[in-house]
Amino acid sequence: MKLMNKITSDYNGTVEEILVKNEEVVEFDQVIMRIKLDKN
């Protein structure tokens, strides 16, 4: 069974890099992606 959770952000930007592999177990507070912030 797959569980998909909606992820929200307080920032606007573009995902630059995904830091985890598909099906890799992640832990609470682990960085999973890098985001390039939009200039406002």
Amino acid at 7: I
pLDDT tens track, the chain, 40 positions: 778 888 788 889 999 999 999 999 999 999 999 999 998 6
The pTM for the full model equals 0.59
The 8-class DSSP code of residue 36 comes to: E
Q: β-strand 13-18 against 33-37: which pairing, if any?
A: antiparallel
